[in-house]
Amino acid sequence: MTTTPDLLPPRFNMAASAIGRAAGRRATAPALIVIDDVSAAQPAEVWTFAAIEDAVLRIAGGLRHAGLRPGARILIRLDNTSAYALLFFGAIAGGFVPLPTSTQLTEPEVRFLLQDSGAEAIALADDLPLHDLPAGLRVFTADDIARMLREAPRASYADTAANDPAFLIYTSGTTASPKGVLHAQRAAFGRRPMYRGWYGIGADDRMLHAGAFNWTFTLGTGLTDPWANGATSIIYTGEKDPALWPRLIADTGATLFAGVPGVYRQMLKYANPSPSDLGALRHGLMAGESPPPGLFEEWEQRTGRPLYEALGMSEISTYVSSGPETPRREGAVGRAQPGRRIAILPLEGGGTPLPPGEEGMLAVHRSDPGLMLGYWQRPEEEAQVYRGDWFIGGDLATIDADGYVFHQGRANDLMKALGYRVSPLEVEAVLAQHPDVAEVACAEARVRADVSIIAAFVVPHPGAPRDSAQIESFAAERLAGYKRPRAIVFVDALPRTANGKIKRSALRLPGASESA
């Protein structure tokens, strides 16, 4: 079927779009480079586009041969190796629905995902065993995946519709249990606004991603998007020492580098990069959480490269960003990527967009092809995030007259103090200006059943005094009374996920119980 470049075809397969086209045009070009040792003379693995396509289609054939039906969910619990990515895309190529998970999940957490998703199969690493697996669950080991790559008959891409399920990811929300976010095959088509709006990517680029294979940020930004543009993806699977990143960037010839803000901050702190240290790097890409104040300026001053930020969520990936064609504006995340429709809706409800400058809920139009199909078997929660033609993901923001979005934090992260709503980002931005503060994160802390306060968790600069009174006085000069932290807690490090994002749920006052 012939379509215009901007028209989503009714039949669409995400793996064919990300890999098949590049394999036809750039068969011998490098698609994936895996490095496990910075000091090694050669990469651990180098895959061409032809080899990647052959691998994912053999996995698709192997899964079909195993008797899985189209649409079957396959939970992936493999180590941080290329087999993870090959299985993810191989399952999509074959019309199955992979469910990528972190290796850090506990057995009870994995069991919940298996039960909630109705998974029919699991890919299980030898060092990540599960006991008493559900009856009828098909188990694939790492050896099984390797055997498919060698012996399975090569399948063709499944003839899937654009709205057929492609993959399922679980994310924490406002409820006690994670909820599944189901994405369609069209999700890859819906990522195209990022190419100009954030990356500025082309076939000659080499994308080095700081994440692991099991992270959806890596599967999307680190693999899907470079491959869809015929570019090379580079993944490092060794120890994540921040001092190594400049060497990796230079040695691999990376032209683009992607990571969370914490990676850039740690690189500046521990690697002390200069412009000559970063080889062919054109610019950095950053998403995942709000960056600390001054990061952009320090990065550009010390490396000579721009840094572009993006805002996104599990339900749509990134959709607001700065980039080579969207200059950064102080305090703003960026603008809606080309072709996206966004608005600010009233906090109290309603679907009429607010005028520029008014704070409300950031919304994206439900016609966006990158938007999820819905929450897996959670119709009540799904109904809560739609207002007419708009999807609301929980971000507070304002938009100025030029379309720049100013993120004010997550609505469910808002702290309540003296009856006022307070964004932790606002308080953190002020405290981070204190000369003794290296890092800071704020959270609402319950001190009695009926009393909550704002607490600031501070990592001081080496050798700096741990003087809470001084920081409180600093805050008093710059913040309204109800915004000031009532507790300053000095810590050696902020709790973070494996990918560097701050875990606000782990910020607790000393001696506080888990239920406090």
Strand partners, 120: none
| pLDDT for 209 beyond 70 | yes
316-352 per-position pLDDT tens digit:
999 999 999 999 999 999 999 999 999 999 988 999 9
Pairing of strands 390-399, 256-259: unpaired
Other beta carbons less than 10 A from residue 383's beta carbon: 10
- At 284 the pLDDT is 98
Is the Cβ–Cβ distance between 485 and 427 less than 8 Å? yes
Is the Cβ–Cβ distance between 284 and 306 less than 8 Å? yes
- At 174 the pLDDT is 46
The overall pTM is greater than 0.75: yes
Confidence class of residue 515 from pLDDT cuts 50, 70 and 90?
Answer: very low
- At 411 the pLDDT is 73
Q: What is the mean pLDDT of residues 355-359?
A: 95
| pLDDT for 368 beyond 60 | yes
For Cα atoms 151, 157, 163, give the angle at the middle one, nearest 5 degrees.
140
Strand partners, 335: 321, 404
47-70 per-position pLDDT tens digit:
999 999 999 999 999 999 999 999
| pLDDT for 2 beyond 50 | no
The number of C-alpha atoms within 13 Å of 325 and in the hemisphere containing its C-beta is 13
Is the Cβ–Cβ distance between 273 and 302 less than 8 Å? yes
375-407 per-position pLDDT tens digit:
999 999 899 999 999 999 889 999 999 999 999
- At 498 the pLDDT is 67
Look at residues 491, 373, 378 and name the one whose alpha carbon lies nearest to residue 443: 491
CA atoms 97, 101, 107, 110: torsion sign: negative
| pLDDT for 514 beyond 60 | no
Domains recognised in the chain with CATH numbers? 14-308 (3.40.50.12780), 416-506 (3.30.300.30)
451-490 per-position pLDDT tens digit:
778 999 999 999 999 999 999 999 988 887 878 999 999 9
Report which of residues 35 and 449 the model is more confident about. Answer: 35
64-103 per-position pLDDT tens digit:
999 999 999 999 999 999 999 999 999 999 999 999 998 8
